[in-house]
Amino acid sequence: MIIPRLDRIAYGGDYNPEQWPPEVWPEDVRLMREAGVNLVTVGVFSWAQLEPAEGEYRFDWLDRVLDLLHGGGIAVDLATPTAAPPAWLTHRYPASRLVGRAGQVFGTGARQSFCPSSPDYRAAAARITEQLATRYAGHPALVLWHAHNEYGCHNPSCYCETSAAAFRTWLRRRYGELAALNAAWSTTFWGQRYGDWAEIEPARLTPTAGNPAQQLDFLRFSAEEHLANFRAERDILHRLSPGIPVTTNFMIASCKTMDYWRWADEVDVVSNDHYLRAEQADNHIELAMAADLTRAVAGGRPWLVLEHSTSAVNWQPRNIAKRPGELRRNSLAHLARGADGLLFFQWRASRFGAEKFHSAMLPHGGTETQVWRDVVALGAALDSLGPVRGTTVRADVGMVWDWESWWALELDCRPSVDLDYVERVHAYYEWLWRAHLTVEFVRPTDPPDHPLLIVPSLYLTTAETATALTRYVENGGTLVVSYFSGIVDANDAVHPGPHPGALRDLLGLTVEEFRPLRSDESVHLDNGATADTWTELITPRGATPILSYLDGPAAAAPAVTRHPVGGGVAWYVSTRLRAGDLDDVLRRACADAGLAPRDDLPADLELVRRGPFRIAINHADQDAKLPATGTELLTGSPCDGLLHIPAGEVRVIRTD
């Protein structure tokens, strides 16, 4: 169990009692119980309430809140409040302010406006963490620590002088000698050689494209500064509050700047915040992708949704409310993909501040609302789904995900501004989702046990990764590699020789030239598929052309190739095919891998196996049927051969 002291699927949300008069708190607890809430996150932005002046602490109100919750049988995920330094800290320690790429100094009134490398910030954050840990380590409501909030969400990088000095220290540690840095940063280009560590700066605003290796290292450094801040808090909590696991809420798949693979082994429990891209069609597929990625970072173990929304958020251009049933489908899709807890932001809608139009479990409209009824119903449903807790998801297909390659791919001066890492991941993921094949995301150096592995645009491919992928194929795996993969090493230097340097032997081809397309251009393949954005001029060197370009700048050249290597096969897709147009290629790759897409099921029926359970989510407006035998948990009904999933509904069947 990921939260040892909690014996149920966690259910609840962020609870900010400091925003409400104490009279409201007992009503909160009463309504939480009505909704089946058993875990709330408390204190996320309470620093200024807990330490109103430097070194002066006020814990009475929080004591009372925790006692009230405990009295109501509700466990607490207690947050360190370090994502919102108090005004006194910013005022007294001006060097702790966040500074932007062009030197602009950020002001007060928001959150996370601090420099992640600031010693003043760090010292103050450690003190408040120690205070909290000391006081609440023994509180019976406490089951989980929640360090900070969404590390790096608004302050991914700081460009101040403190950060510059910290960056130099980090670089000295990474490279030892300046010559090694000059080599890694390829400073022979544009005469950027450094003769002294003191000459090195953050990747500040430049009048034209800056050094990409410098940019990559500054991204690495910045991410590690946040991770160091997490580690510092975690270590305090472990020391002073042993036995209580520590988590922090990731923003997986949407936060580009944190390399969560590096956080995987640092947190006791992996947690994620997920919000729909409200205006995007079929955005539940993106949700599934994020959930699968979170599970991967959790090493396959159960994880928590620490934040998602009951309906609209407040920070997108148009904050679309959820449709009927969407709250339930979204939440249970997380559960299906490994979540053992479902928390919302937030319990009670704020009356003020920047987030007052964010939906909540208890909306402004109170209990006479569909959202409230759905929240209560979901709480009840989770009671029936208790047996699912602790089980693990069974995946079918591997897919590589890599933050560093994402960073590198989208630096400036790439062959086309239309190159988009997540878009490619999503396109392959979407096809697999519709084929009812569950994805296991993996580090590039760590191929899975599954017979099929997808590698979407892995621009940055190290030699280690190339070796791992080659071994995967040699050992019988089927690999599908998307375009613009295998191009550069960890310092954004092109691998020697023809593209794709790191993968050309494995793929059995060279790319003579990239042939990106104009913004309104599309091309056709000889199987009728339409592609856009990108094409390449491929020379097969062992690979067999499977599909070719009918037109466009690579007309008549291969578009998709297949290369048997050892016991396996390496496919290459050199152009941007949307999910539907990938069908032909991916069916053949599945055949190579011995995988069968479930063509007998409706495309909009999400189907995941978790332990002995099969969880079916019907996103369509029509009812669906699934061959199945066993007991359906939500209705409690036996199913003998054919499970009926009403339009918009969810069914969870325990296979006998």
Chosen residue from 312, 376, 377, 596 binding a copy of itself by CB under 8 A: 312
Chosen residue from 78, 160, 213, 336 binding a copy of itself by CB under 8 A: 213
| Orientation angle between helical segments 421-434 and 583-593, nearest 10 degrees | 70
Q: Which residues contact 78 (CB under 8 A, 6 or more apart)?
A: 41, 42, 43, 66, 132, 136, 142, 144, 145, 146
Cα three-residue angle 352-42-227, rounded to 5 degrees:
105
**Near a copy of itself in 44-63, by CB under 8 A:** 45-49, 52-53
Nearest one of 459, 464, 367 to 422, comparing CA atoms = 459
Which of these ranges, 349-357, 460-468, 565-573, 629-637, lies near a copy of itself under the rule CB under 8 A? 349-357
In angstroms, rounded to a whole number, what is the distance separating the alpha carbons of residues 561 and 544?
Answer: 5
CA atoms within 13 A on the CB side of 429: 28
Any idea what DSSP says for residue 460? Answer: B
Does residue 201 touch a copy of itself according to CB under 8 A?
A: yes
Query: Are 350 and 19 a contacting pair, CB within 8 Å?
Result: yes
What is the smallest separation between the CB atom of 50 and a copy of itself, expressed in angstroms?
A: 9
Does residue 421 touch a copy of itself according to CB under 8 A?
A: no
Chosen residue from 95, 179, 198, 642 binding a copy of itself by CB under 8 A: 198
What is the smallest separation between the CB atom of 157 and a copy of itself, expressed in angstroms?
A: 11
Amino acid identity for residue 283 in this structure:
N
Does residue 363 touch a copy of itself according to CB under 8 A?
A: yes
Does residue 18 touch a copy of itself according to CB under 8 A?
A: yes
**Near a copy of itself in 121-160, by CB under 8 A:** 153-155, 159
Smaller CB separation from a copy of itself, 324 or 627: 324
Which of these ranges, 358-366, 395-403, 448-456, 569-577, lies near a copy of itself under the rule CB under 8 A? 358-366
Active site residue 286: no
In angstroms, rounded to a whole number, what is the distance separating the alpha carbons of residues 268 and 337?
Answer: 19
**Near a copy of itself in 244-303, by CB under 8 A:** 279
Does residue 467 touch a copy of itself according to CB under 8 A?
A: no
Chosen residue from 36, 86, 444, 451 binding a copy of itself by CB under 8 A: 86
**Near a copy of itself in 218-237, by CB under 8 A:** none
Does residue 502 touch a copy of itself according to CB under 8 A?
A: no
Element holding 327 (H helix, E strand): helix 326-336
Does residue 410 touch a copy of itself according to CB under 8 A?
A: no
**Near a copy of itself in 106-125, by CB under 8 A:** 106-113
Query: Are 297 and 337 a contacting pair, CB within 8 Å?
Result: no
Q: Which of 51, 150, 286, 632 is catalytic?
A: 150
Does residue 190 touch a copy of itself according to CB under 8 A?
A: yes
What is the smallest separation between the CB atom of 54 and a copy of itself, expressed in angstroms?
A: 9
Other beta carbons less than 10 A from residue 107's beta carbon: 10
* Residue indicated by tokens 């791919």: 409
Smaller CB separation from a copy of itself, 95 or 494: 494
Does residue 512 touch a copy of itself according to CB under 8 A?
A: yes
Chosen residue from 23, 177, 196, 265 binding a copy of itself by CB under 8 A: 196
- CA torsion 253-258-263-267 (nearest 10°) is -80
Amino acid identity for residue 342 in this structure:
L
In angstroms, rounded to a whole number, what is the distance separating the alpha carbons of residues 203 and 218?
Answer: 6
Chosen residue from 254, 283, 416, 445 binding a copy of itself by CB under 8 A: 416
Chosen residue from 60, 173, 243, 351 binding a copy of itself by CB under 8 A: 351
Q: Using only C-alpha atoms, what is the Rg of the chain?
A: 26
Helix (H, G, I), strand (E, B) or coil at 227: helix
Token pair, residue 163, equals: 């950060």
Q: Which of 51, 233, 286, 307 is catalytic?
A: 307
In angstroms, rounded to a whole number, what is the distance separating the alpha carbons of residues 362 and 370?
Answer: 10
Does residue 643 touch a copy of itself according to CB under 8 A?
A: no
In angstroms, rounded to a whole number, what is the distance separating the alpha carbons of residues 487 and 499?
Answer: 6
Token pair, residue 87, equals: 């005004």
**Near a copy of itself in 547-566, by CB under 8 A:** 553
Chosen residue from 57, 59, 175, 194 binding a copy of itself by CB under 8 A: 194
Active site residue 513: no
What is the set of active-site residues?
150, 307
